[in-house]
């Protein structure tokens, strides 16, 4: 019965012997690796999937130490030559039996992850907005009362207190306003994405002249339809983080790359688009702290003491308003944010 269960699982399951040779795999694994069990049986697995040395070492270690582990985003080269990115979990069952579960991290998976991420972000946004409104309502009253009180106080020492109340209320109001995000309807006007990037570039040069900004533009990109000042804001939020991360980490030769590309037949969320504009913002800074990766785009998530944690959440909601999204890949020395904006004509 267990065999039957295994055969119907959609997760790829492989069983290796003590020499890391394949003794069995289920049909899902055959499909994933694009080869049949009969052809692989008895052969050492590490030599069959490229990137072998590393996979072999990890498997041997799990066997020797009798310790399960999960490897994320491992790159395998299949017998067909195709590259595959997978997560895999190894569980040693006995001294000469290793169980391997492999999960592809390909496009399909990315799409469902994006969807899940997007719904989660929507929920958080609704929550944050609700909270922001509740915080904002009494602020006007507090400010007004403090002003009146200040007028009636003769002691400048006491007036100092009302001044602090007013200043703090203003700071809170600004914070809440930025949490509420852009509250006007976004415009859909033809705009040139390179104009947006050039604007951001000139702002950053003034802020951080030490950072070298490399431009890699695809001049054949047509105009897209959107809100120029909102997109400047989104790109600026992402690029400014990169510049801040590089300067704070004291990177020797900080470099920011602004790259544009056209992507054809590209799927965003559940929709397939004929043409998508990709803006990549790449830096050679320290990378995104691992603790932030899952929640990076949530409001109030920040890795910096004085950060508000709103920059990326605002940027992401601007991209959503353009039917696009932002995705991110990061490792120390190389962080890439990609802003993806569909370029179909809108009829509104
Ligand atoms: N390019 C990057 N390199 C390293 N860390 C980054 C990068 N971009 C964003 N981060 C991290 O993500 C956090 C959230 O960014 P953001 O939403 O703009 O909020 P804030 O900048 O106010 O902290 C930053 O505090 C930083 O820790
Ligand atoms: Mg920021």
The CB of 314 under 6 Å from ligand 1? The reply is no
Q: Residue 329 sits in a domain of what CATH number?
A: 3.30.565.10
Asked whether residue 302 is assigned to any structural domain, the reply reads: yes
193 & 305 share domain: yes
| Residue linked to tokens 């004929």 | 274
Asked whether residue 57 is assigned to any structural domain, the reply reads: yes
- The residue from 150, 179, 208 where one domain ends is 179
7 & 73 share domain: yes
The CB of 303 under 6 Å from ligand 1? The reply is yes
97 & 117 share domain: no
- The residue from 154, 179, 204 where one domain ends is 179
- The residue from 147, 179, 211 where one domain ends is 179
What the block records as the tokens of 165 is: 């109340």
15 & 43 share domain: yes
Distance 239 CA to ligand 2 centre (A): 9
* Structural domains counted in the chain: 3
Asked whether residue 347 is assigned to any structural domain, the reply reads: no
Asked whether residue 39 is assigned to any structural domain, the reply reads: yes
CA dist., res. 231 & res. 241, Å (int) = 16
Element (H, E) at 246: helix 228-249
DSSP 3-state of 266: strand
Q: How far is CA 156 from the centre of its chain?
A: 50
119 & 58 share domain: no
pLDDT at position 347: 42
Asked whether residue 348 is assigned to any structural domain, the reply reads: no
The CB of 296 under 6 Å from ligand 1? The reply is yes
What the block records as the tokens of 321 is: 């308003």
pLDDT at position 46: 77
284 & 319 share domain: yes
pLDDT at position 108: 56
Asked whether residue 184 is assigned to any structural domain, the reply reads: no
20 & 84 share domain: yes
199 & 338 share domain: yes
20 & 86 share domain: yes
Listed as ranges, residues in the chain with pLDDT below 50 are 346-348
Q: Residue 55 sits in a domain of what CATH number?
A: 3.30.450.20
Distance 303 CA to ligand 1 centre (A): 6
* Residue 146 neighbours by CB distance under 10 Å: 19
CA 285 to ligand 1: nearest atom: 3
16 & 88 share domain: yes
325 & 199 share domain: yes
Burial of 204 (0-12, 13-18, 19+ CB in 10 A): buried
Distance 211 CA to ligand 2 centre (A): 17
pLDDT at position 11: 87
**Domain extent for 328:** 189-342
Distance 133 CA to ligand 2 centre (A): 22
310 & 329 share domain: yes
pTM comes to: 0.64
């Amino acid at each position: 019965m267990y065999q039957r269960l295994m055969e119907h699982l959609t997760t790829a399951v492989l069983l290796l012997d003590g020499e890391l040779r394949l003794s069995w795999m289920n049909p899902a694994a055959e499909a994933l690796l694009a080869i049949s069990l009969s052809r692989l049986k008895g052969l050492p697995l590490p030599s069959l999937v490229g990137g072998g040395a590393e996979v072999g070492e990890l498997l041997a270690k799990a066997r020797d130490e009798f310790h399960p582990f999960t490897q994320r985003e491992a790159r395998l080269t299949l017998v067909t030559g195709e590259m595959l990115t997978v997560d895999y979990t190894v569980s040693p069952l006995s001294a000469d039996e290793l169980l391997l579960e492999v999960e592809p991290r390909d496009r399909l998976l990315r799409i469902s992850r994006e969807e899940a991420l997007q719904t989660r972000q929507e929920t958080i946004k609704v929550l944050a907005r609700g909270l922001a409104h509740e915080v904002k309502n009494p602020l006007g009253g507090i400010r007004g009362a403090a002003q009146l009180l200040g007028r009636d106080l003769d002691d400048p020492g006491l007036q100092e207190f009302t001044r602090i109340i007013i200043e703090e209320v203003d700071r809170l109001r600004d914070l809440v306003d930025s949490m509420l995000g852009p509250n006007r309807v976004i415009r859909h006007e033809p705009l040139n994405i390179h104009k947006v990037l050039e604007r951001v570039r000139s702002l950053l040069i003034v802020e951080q002249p030490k950072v070298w900004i490399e431009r890699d533009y695809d001049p054949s990109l047509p105009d897209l339809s959107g809100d120029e000042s909102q997109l400047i804001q989104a790109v600026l939020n992402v690029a400014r983080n990169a510049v801040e991360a590089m300067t704070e980490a004291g990177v020797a030769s900080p470099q920011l790359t602004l790259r544009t590309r056209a992507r054809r037949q590209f799927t965003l969320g559940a929709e397939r688009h004929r043409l998508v504009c990709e803006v990549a913002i790449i830096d050679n800074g320290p990378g995104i702290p691992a603790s932030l990766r899952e929640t990076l785009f949530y409001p109030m998530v920040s890795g910096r003491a004085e950060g508000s944690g709103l920059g990326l959440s605002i940027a992401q909601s601007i991209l959503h308003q353009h039917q696009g999204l932002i995705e991110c890949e990061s490792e120390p020395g190389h962080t890439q944010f990609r802003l993806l904006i569909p370029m179909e004509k809108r009829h509104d």
